[in-house]
Each structure stands twice: as C-alpha cells, then as structure tokens.
Amino acid sequence: MEKDALEEVLGTIHALLEAEGMYEAANLVREHSARTEQTGYDNWNGGTEIWEVQFEVPAPEFARLGTKRAQIEEQISARLKPVLEQETQDWYSAKIIPLKVTHKDWRTAGIALPRQVRLNILDGLRLNDVAWYGQLDDVEFLSRLFELEQLPSTDDRFKDAAGDIWQHRMNNDDWSRDWLFSDNRFNLVDGPAERFLRFLCEMVHPLVRPDRDDVINLVSLFNEQIRQVGWELFEEERVAGRPRFAYRRLIDSGARVVNRARTVSDALDAGWMAKEIERLEHAVERDPALAIGTAKELVETCCKTILTKRSVEFSKSDDLGNLTKKVATELKLVPEGISDEAKGAENIKLILRNLTQLTNNLAQLRGLYGTGHGRDGQHRGLQPRHARLAVASAVAFIDFIAETYRQREVSRAPSEEGDAPLRRRVQTITTRTK
C-alpha cells in the first residue's frame, strides 16, 4: 500500500476508534509511524495476499503496554476490514512491534553517571580521609586500570604518566593525596561512566583493601549515591574468601517487581493503579518515603477495585485493614476456608495470615517513615532497600489476590448466584473486564 493511501486509511481508523471511545488505540495510531508488510499468501478464492499494518513503538512504551498490546491490535484490526473491504480482497491486520534501535552507540548510550553524583562520592572520600589507593601505591593502583606508559607526563623530565606520578607522589611527595580527582588525564569526574565505576570497584578489590569491614562500608557509601541514578556495586565473586565487586545497572529485581505490578493493573483494568505503579518506578531509589507511601496506596487501590467489581460495599472510613479483611472474606482467602484434612493445611493457614498482615504492616510503616507526616530535625528516613522490601511485599499481596479474583470470576456462573440482581451484576462485571 502506498504511503499516502496508508495515511488515509489510518486517519479513518483513528476517527473510528475515537468515535467509539477507544482512546488508547486511537492515540497509538496517531502518534506512531506505520508501514505495511506482506506476511503470507492464501491460494483460496483466486489468491489472497495477507498483510500486516505494523506500528513501530519505542521499546519503553512497547514494554509498558504489556498485555494490552493484543487488545489494541484487535481493536485496530477490526476497523481495518470495513475501511478496506471496498478497495481490496486482501487481508489486513494490525501488529504492534518495537521500534528498532539504529544508532551505533547503543551499547554505551544512556549509561550516564551524573557529575554531581561523582563529586559527592569523591567529596565523601575526602571527608572520611580515605586513601583511594588502599595498601598499594599510586602507580601500582592506577596501573591496574590504565596504560600509564601511554599517557603523557605533566613533568617534562619524564616521558609518561608513570614517571611523573612516581616522582611527585613517592619520591618528592609534593602532590596532595587526592591529586587524581582533578587530573584531566584520568578525567574521573567528566569521563565515561564505565571508567568511574571501574575505579570504585578497584578501590574495594581484595588486593587494594583486604579489610572486609572497610570494603563493606565503602561499598555501602558508593551504592547510596549511585543507586539513585540506576547503578550498583555487587559482589561478583570471592578471591581468597574476600568479596570482589563489579558494577551493574539496576534492572533486575526492582524492574521485575514493578513489571509484575503493571501486569496486575492491566488485568484489573485499574487506571489508578497504573499511576501509582509509575510513581513507584521512579521513587524506590530516589525517594524511599514516597515509595513506601505509594506501596500502601497500591494495595488500597487494588482492594477497592476488586470490591467494586464484586459489588461489595465499603465506605470512605474503611482503613486498609478493613479493606483487606473484606477482600479476604469475599474471595475466601480466610484461613478458615481451608480444610484441616488438606495436606500442609497449617502451613497454608499461616501463609494466608501473614499475607493479610502485610497490609497492616505497610500502613504502619508508612505512618512512621512514609510521606504525609511532618518530621523533626533529628528524623532519619529509611533507605532504598527498605522501600524495595515494602514494594515487593505490596506486589506479592496484590498479585495473589488479583489472581484469586480472576479464578473466582471464571468459576462464578450466573446460574449459581440464586437471584436476578446478582446475575445482572456478574454480567456487568464481565462486560467491563473484557
């Protein structure tokens, strides 16, 4: 299909989607480029070409859409047929695909480590009087990271960096101990992120700093800064029983937890949950208090969503404990619902009791350290690891009750409800969640 013809088709599809209230699909058609690609051929009825209208969506949005992609594809495909059936007998369907990364520096793009974070770490080393080179001398340490013989000397008496560093640090000792932090040859402050992170890892290498307590303290100080911008040092292996650290992006457990929460939100079609999840994603490392408060709100929203879908009444005065009790009762999560004869019944009961207690603990944690309360000048907030614990607990709870809700809905037949009003409510819920 020619580009101009495709634009006309897409404009019509967009108008239809908007007219029918399918705004997310309409926005996707309007905002993203599309192309047609033949994907098959059917010999039936004289031959029919099979085409896809492929919408190219940037990777972050592609991932955010998650399970909604299939629904949006179906909505667009259903409107392609009436638009095209007067012009062609070929088959067209919509497909959302991730936009290809074409820039050649993708391996290093987006891995910046802000200048201020680096300065904070170097200032911390100065304030705590930490010798960056550990038990080595300057030349020995830097030789582990750089080819000193390939770097120029700042002293014309020497041919390379190794010579002038030795002269001014070991022989004359007329450079300050933190000379490295401002030396442009090494450019720790404004150079590549990888260089600075390798420097931090080398500072806590067992050969450089064999005392385990010193290493753990330094790693904690480093991570306090770099985790705010998406990095961390982690123990990669052990050398003679001592930890050796490497660096990595923070895209593992935290990202998986947030993605799981997003899947729950999609399944429940809960817009407010999506907003809270977005706040969580940005707050866990940078604003633990906000993340803890949002984790509690996420559980509350999930409970209210399910109670509303099940037509269970609740009031504005119901706190989080009351809401979770109502959900537990409605979905038959209460321990009494498990037969004593069931294998491992006591263990299951204990897990369910602890699960419902999670929400109460979240509410208390928010009251102590979360957002929404004034603090005195001596107050010390929680750290990102506490926020990650709160978020993981909240997601574990909403994941379990959302999955239970879906199973209850599947087994809930109108004929078993016993009266017409309840049957109508079930039909309404089914319609809304399709």
DSSP letters, 201-241, are HHHT-TTT---HHHHHHHHHHHHHHHGGGTEEEEEEEEETT
CA nearest to 264, candidates 406, 390, 361, 360:
406
Helices 384-411, 420-433: axis angle to 10 degrees equals 130
Q: How confident is the model at residue 396 (pLDDT cuts 50, 70, 90)?
A: confident
**Any idea which residue has 């404004």 for tokens?**
190
Residue 351: Cβ within 10 Å count: 12
Q: What is the pLDDT of residue 12?
A: 94
Residues 6+ apart with CB under 8 A from 321: 359, 360, 363
CA nearest to 279, candidates 303, 263, 295, 255:
295
Q: What is the pLDDT of residue 166?
A: 94
Report the share of the chain in percent with pLDDT over 70: 74
Q: How confident is the model at residue 74 (pLDDT cuts 50, 70, 90)?
A: very high
Q: How confident is the model at residue 202 (pLDDT cuts 50, 70, 90)?
A: very high
Q: What is the pLDDT of residue 328?
A: 82
Which residues are registered as beta bridge partners of 235?
245
pLDDT at 244 over 80: yes
- Among 50-54, 146-150, 262-266, 396-400, the least confident range: 262-266
Instruction: Tell me how far apart the alpha carbons of residues 13 and 77 are, in angstroms, rounded to a whole number.
Output: 9
Q: What is the mean pLDDT of the chain?
A: 80
Mean pLDDT value of segment 65-77: 90
pTM of the model: 0.45
Copy the structure tokens of residue 107.
């391996």
Mean pLDDT value of segment 368-380: 51
Q: What is the pLDDT of residue 337?
A: 53
pLDDT at 421 over 50: no
Q: What is the pLDDT of residue 375?
A: 46
Query: 394 by DSSP, 3-state: which?
Result: helix
> Which range scores top for mean pLDDT: 189-193, 278-282, 392-396?
189-193
* Stronger pLDDT, 124 or 417, i.e. the higher one: 124
* Domain assignments of the chain as residue spans, ordered by start: 3-98, 115-249, 254-374+381-433
* Stronger pLDDT, 82 or 413, i.e. the higher one: 82
Which residues are registered as beta bridge partners of 51?
38, 92
* Stronger pLDDT, 33 or 101, i.e. the higher one: 33
Helix (H) or strand (E) holding 41: strand 34-42
Q: What is the pLDDT of residue 15?
A: 93
Mean pLDDT value of segment 220-236: 87
Q: What is the pLDDT of residue 418?
A: 45
Q: Would you say 362 and 299 are in contact if contact means Cβ atoms under 8 Å apart?
A: yes
Q: What is the pLDDT of residue 267?
A: 62
Long-range contact pairs involving 179-183 (C-beta distance under 8 Å, separation at least 24)? 180/132, 180/138, 180/142, 181/122
Q: What is the pLDDT of residue 122?
A: 96
CA nearest to 390, candidates 217, 254, 231, 286:
254
Q: Would you say 188 and 199 are in contact if contact means Cβ atoms under 8 Å apart?
A: yes
Query: 320 by DSSP, 3-state: which?
Result: helix
Query: 36 by DSSP, 3-state: which?
Result: strand
> Which range scores top for mean pLDDT: 34-48, 68-82, 296-310, 389-403?
68-82
Mean pLDDT value of segment 72-94: 89
Q: What is the pLDDT of residue 262?
A: 64
Length of the chain: 434
pLDDT at 426 over 60: no
Copy the structure tokens of residue 158.
């020497």
Mode of pairing for the β-strands spanning 48-57 and 91-98: parallel
Mean pLDDT value of segment 128-136: 95
**Any idea which residue has 């897990």 for tokens?**
351
CA nearest to 162, candidates 177, 144, 174:
144
Instruction: Tell me how far apart the alpha carbons of residues 87 and 378 are, in angstroms, rounded to a whole number.
Output: 74
Mean pLDDT value of segment 274-285: 68
Query: 42 by DSSP, 3-state: which?
Result: strand
Label residue 36 left, alpha or beta by phi (over 0 means left) and psi (-120 to 50 means alpha): beta
pLDDT at 271 over 80: no
Q: How confident is the model at residue 362 (pLDDT cuts 50, 70, 90)?
A: low
Q: How confident is the model at residue 182 (pLDDT cuts 50, 70, 90)?
A: very high
Q: Would you say 214 and 233 are in contact if contact means Cβ atoms under 8 Å apart?
A: no
Instruction: Tell me how far apart the alpha carbons of residues 322 and 315 are, in angstroms, rounded to a whole number.
Output: 10
pLDDT digits (tens, 9 = 90+) for 5-22: 889 999 999 999 999 989
Mean pLDDT value of segment 378-402: 75
Q: Would you say 146 and 186 are in contact if contact means Cβ atoms under 8 Å apart?
A: yes
* Stronger pLDDT, 254 or 219, i.e. the higher one: 219
* Stronger pLDDT, 199 or 82, i.e. the higher one: 199
* Stronger pLDDT, 384 or 172, i.e. the higher one: 172
DSSP classification of residue 148 = G
Query: 340 by DSSP, 3-state: which?
Result: coil
- Among 137-141, 308-312, 365-369, 427-431, the least confident range: 427-431
CATH number, domain 3-98: 3.30.300
CA–centroid distance for 218 within its chain: 26
